[in-house]
Amino acid sequence: MDLSRLHPQARAALGVQRREPLTVANLTAVRHSMVAAVPDEVGLVHAPGTVVDVDANGVPARLFRHGTAVVVYAHGGGWVLGDLDTHDGLCRALAAETGWSVLAVDYRRAPEHPFPAAPDDLDTALAWLRSSGPALGLDPARIAVAGDSAGGHLATVAARRARDAGRPPAAQLLICPVVEPAQDYPDLDDYGLHREEMAFFWDAYVPPGVDRSAADLSPHLADLAGMPPTVIVTAELDILRPEAERYAAALSAAGVPVVSACYQGMVHNFPRKLALFDAAHAALAQLGAALRHWVPVA
């Protein structure tokens, strides 16, 4: 590892989360280690409005109410890890930066619930928001989707599905997203996310025999015309950066307004770790600024 490539804060962040062996048998410990690291990585983030857990037509979700427009959020964790608590601080900060409410979706995780459980849960939550949102003071005509890492994958799949159904979201905000199942990664394993981990996540998420070239698994291969305005935040030293940048270029070639920003010296999913990275706050401010530009808050 070339430590000189890392931002000083990224160097200091190495090893904050205890690294457990990533196996199916050890998933309980791995999931717990991600939760246990939240106080050190994320810290205490105050919500700008009220926070309430809701039932979105059978899908557990958490609503951070802060305005009538809503960002539907899918957490990261390789479709296997993460939950409402690991991403609670990020969603609070996102609500504060955007001026929008945030609906965090606790979708079913692999390998217990492989594809297509997670994207189907996102679809269910979106349908619930459109039907029940007005009773909660939320505007079903002003919905964006967002997510980090594997949650970014779920968010853009949800956006494309909604577009195909004639109900495209107003925008999509993607943080260090997974986009391609080919796993053609640069040699950046030492800086955080490892290719072996991504291989485990993909195999857990996609059952044998499923065509990974289908649009729900390879969103970069879909027809991208008419996709919503998009912000993609990447980290220089993240193995997922090249595929996210290729996706940004493909969206742009399809005529989609795109902002793609690479944060130098940063590592995978730095924006969630608000207690460790000044760049996390800058990235969320950038997401908020783009969203307010494309969809002004009423």
C-alpha dihedral sign at 2, 5, 7, 13: negative
Calculate the alpha carbon distances from 240 to 186, 203, 279 in Å. Answer: 8, 17, 18
Look-up of token digits 């939950």: 83
| Active-site option among 66, 75, 220, 268 | 268
Angle, helices 88-98/278-294, rounded to nearest 10 degrees: 50
- Per the annotation, the verdict on 238 as an active-site residue is yes
Alpha helices (runs of H) in the chain, residue ranges in sequence order: 8-13, 27-36, 38-41, 88-98, 117-132, 150-164, 195-205, 241-253, 278-294
- Asked if 214 and 239 touch (Cβ cutoff 8 Å), the reply is no
- Per the annotation, the verdict on 33 as an active-site residue is no
| Active-site option among 83, 106, 216, 238 | 238
* DSSP class of 264: T
| Active-site option among 66, 106, 121, 149 | 149
Mind telling me the catalytic residues?
Answer: 149, 238, 268
